[in-house]
Amino acid sequence: MIKIKEILNPINALALGNSFKDEYSFYKYKQEDFTNIKTEKENLLILIMSYRFNLIDMSYLLDINPDNLELLNHFNKVKKDYYNLLSYYEDKYNALSNIAFKDFDKYCYLAKPWVGDK
Amino acid sequence: MWNYNRYLMYPVQISKPNLDYAKYLVTAIGSYAGELGAALRYLNQVDTMPTIEAKALLTDIGTEEMGHVEILANMIKALTRGVPVEEIKKSENLANYVDHGAPHITIDTSGNPFTVTYYASSGDFITDLYEDLAAEQKARAMYEHLMDITDDPEILAPLSFLRQREIIHFNRFKELLSKLKKEIDK
């Protein structure tokens, strides 16, 4: 069973590709953080990716161990932070899904650029 | 059902084109070890899994694999974006450009099209989970080969992430298989 103390912080987890310290396996290149972020918008998106990633990784363990309440409590805490980040981003910039988390006066899903565009 | 989020699972921060590398990277989507086959393999196996925990895990990992396809497609886009035709003519990616204009991603390095025969769904959860474990190892090896042929940190970072995901998926499938076997033994 995974112990809570072994769960990495979301940014570190995303950079490495896993949320649980003991499962990391090095091959050729290691990234532990994201350094070349230029704007607050980019930084917020990386945070949203990180928290979402942490939740995805924990959800797999919860799929197999649904009775692990310690993990579920940690999952709930990260989930709260994730939705706070999502809400802050959507307030400031644009919707991140066609059914946005926030209410908008106008349809904000089509703001440019699209994923991966410049 | 699925919903789409307007962000990648992992940020792609490739700043310069590399047409020759893009030709090889497509294999991570469309080859026998690629992400598209992984996604379809797990999602096709869901219905014959014996427990709700197994159905959930295969659905969730299959969904993540589609996110990996998106990361790779964006890497390929960044590696090929804005390159003048004169440069394309000199590169190994010329045939791809002539056929498709933009990179065609559901092929392997030799141009063989993706096929559903890359994966199986046997209806037997033990058989299927062993196939899934093997699939994760095939993908891990593929990423290591792709990492071996470049020293560009902007390419290595997402590949390193994707390789590590294969290891995590392998671990979760192994735990699931072990749990299901124990339940059968009872």
Is A49 in contact with B7 (Cβ distance < 8 A)?
A: yes
**What average pLDDT does the structure give for chain A?**
92
B58–chain A Cβ distance below 8 A for any pair: no
Model confidence at A1, pLDDT cuts 50, 70, 90, reads low
Chain-chain contact of A36 with B13 (C-beta, under 8 angstroms): yes
Q: What is the pLDDT at residue B94? A: 74
Distance separating alpha carbons of residues A25 and A21, to the nearest angstrom: 10
ipTM of the complex: 0.95
Tally A–B CB contacts below 8 A.
109
Judged by CB atoms closer than 8 Å, whether chains meet at A98 and B4 is answered as yes
Segment A39-84, tens digit of pLDDT: 999 999 999 999 999 999 999 999 999 999 999 999 999 999 999 9
Q: pLDDT tens digits, residue range B9-19?
A: 999 999 999 98
Residues in chain A closer than 8 A to B64 (CB atoms)? 56
| Successive 10-residue mean pLDDT values, chain B, 186 residues | 94 93 94 97 97 98 98 94 86 74 79 92 96 98 98 98 98 97 88
> For residue A2, what pLDDT is reported?
60
| Best mutation target, A18, A29, A102, to test chain B (most B CBs within 10 A) | A29
pLDDT recorded at residue B10: 98
A116: left (phi over 0), alpha (psi -120 to 50) or beta: left
Q: Which of A27, A64, A98 sits opposite B179 (nearest CB)?
A: A64
Tokens encoding A85:
């980040």
Nearest neighbour of B168 by CB, restricted to A18, A46, A52: A18
DSSP B63-108: HHHHHHHHHHHHHHHHHHTT--HHHHHHSTTHHHHHHHSS---SB-
Q: Kindly identify which residue of chain B lies nearest to residue A37, measuring between CA atoms.
A: B13
Using an 8 Å CB-CB cutoff, list chain A residues near B157.
29, 31
SS3 B43: helix
Least CB–CB distance from A46: residue in B4, B11, B61: B11
pLDDT in the model for residue A4: 66
Per-window interface: A 44-103 vs B, CB < 8 A: 45-46, 48-49, 52-53, 56-57, 59-61, 63-64, 66, 94-99
Residue matched to tokens 């045939």? B95
Given this model, what pLDDT does residue A77 score?
Answer: 97
Whole-number Cα distances in Å, A112 to A30, B93, B152, B184: 32, 29, 29, 53
Cβ of residue B4 closer than 8 Å to a chain A Cβ = yes
The predicted structure's pLDDT at residue A5: 64
The candidate with the shortest Cα–Cα distance to B152, out of B11, B13, B40, B38, is B13
